[in-house]
Amino acid sequence: MIIRTNSLMLDSNFFRSHWLLDPGSIDLILTDPPYGTMVRIHPWDKKISLVETADVFDYLLAPQGQIAIFCSDRLQFEIYPAFSPYFDFRYRQTIIKTSATAFHRDRPRPNSEALLVFHRKGTPIRDRIFNHEVVGEEGLPWKRTNRKGSRSTMGGLKRLVDENKSGKRYPTSVVYAPNRPGMSKAEKQDSTHPSQKSLIFIRDTILLLSNPGQVVLDPFAGSGTTLVAAYQTGRSAVGFEMEPKFYDETNERLRHVFETSDVAILSDFAGIEIEL
Is the CB of 22 or the CB of 45 nearer to ligand SAM? 45
Judged by CB under 6 A, does residue 44 bind ligand SAM? yes
Secondary structure of residue 205 in the 3-state scheme: helix
The binder of ligand SAM chosen from 93, 123, 205, 223 (CB under 6 A)? 223
> Cα–Cα distances in Å, from 35 out to 39, 129, 171, 205?
9, 27, 26, 20
Q: Does 243 bind ligand SAM (CB under 6 A)?
A: yes
Residue 203 parent element (H or E): helix 199-209
**195 contributes a contact to ligand SAM by CB under 6 A:** yes
Q: Is 242 in the site for ligand SAM (CB under 6 A)?
A: yes
Q: Binding of ligand SAM at residue 203 (CB under 6 A)?
A: no
- Establish if 120 lies at the interface with ligand SAM (CB under 6 A): no
Query: Could you tell me if residue 271 is left (phi over 0), alpha (psi between -120 and 50 degrees) or otherwise beta?
Result: left
The edge-to-edge listing of strands for the beta sheet with 174-176 is: 7-10, 236-240, 215-218, 26-31, 61-71, 112-120, 87-96, 174-176
Nearest distance in Å: CB 268, ligand SAM = 22
Stretch that binds ligand SAM, among 136-144, 146-154, 181-189, 218-226 (CB under 6 A): 218-226
Report in angstroms the alpha-carbon separations of 167 from 46, 130, 164, 251.
45, 19, 6, 40
- DSSP assignments along 8-21, one per residue: EEE-S-HHHHGGGS
- Verify binding: residue 258, ligand SAM, rule CB under 6 A: no
Q: Is 62 exposed, middle or buried (0-12, 13-18, 19+ CB in 10 A)?
A: middle
Min separation Cβ 81 and ligand SAM, Å: 21
Please give the residue whose beta carbon sits closest to ligand SAM in the complex.
Answer: 222
Judged by CB under 6 A, the stretch of 9-17, 54-62, 76-84, 135-143 that binds ligand SAM is 9-17
Q: How far apart are CA 126 and CA 246, in angstroms?
A: 39
* φ and ψ at residue 33, rounded to 5 degrees: -75, 165
Indicate whether 83 belongs to the interface with ligand SAM (CB under 6 A).
Answer: no
**Options 76-84, 155-163, 190-198, 230-238: segment touching ligand SAM (CB under 6 A):** 190-198
For residues 156 and 179, give the distance between their C-alpha atoms in angstroms, rounded to a whole number. Answer: 47
Residue from 5, 7, 9, 14 touching ligand SAM (CB under 6 A): that is 14
Query: In 3D, which of 218, 204, 215 has the Cα closest to residue 269?
Result: 215
Among the listed residues 197, 203, 235, 253, the single contact to ligand SAM using CB under 6 A = 197
Told to check if 192 binds ligand SAM by CB under 6 A, we report no
237 binds ligand SAM (CB under 6 A): no
**Residue 246 engages ligand SAM in binding (rule: CB under 6 A):** yes
The site for ligand SAM (CB under 6 A) is made up of: 13-15, 32, 34, 44, 193, 195-197, 220, 222-223, 225, 240-243, 246
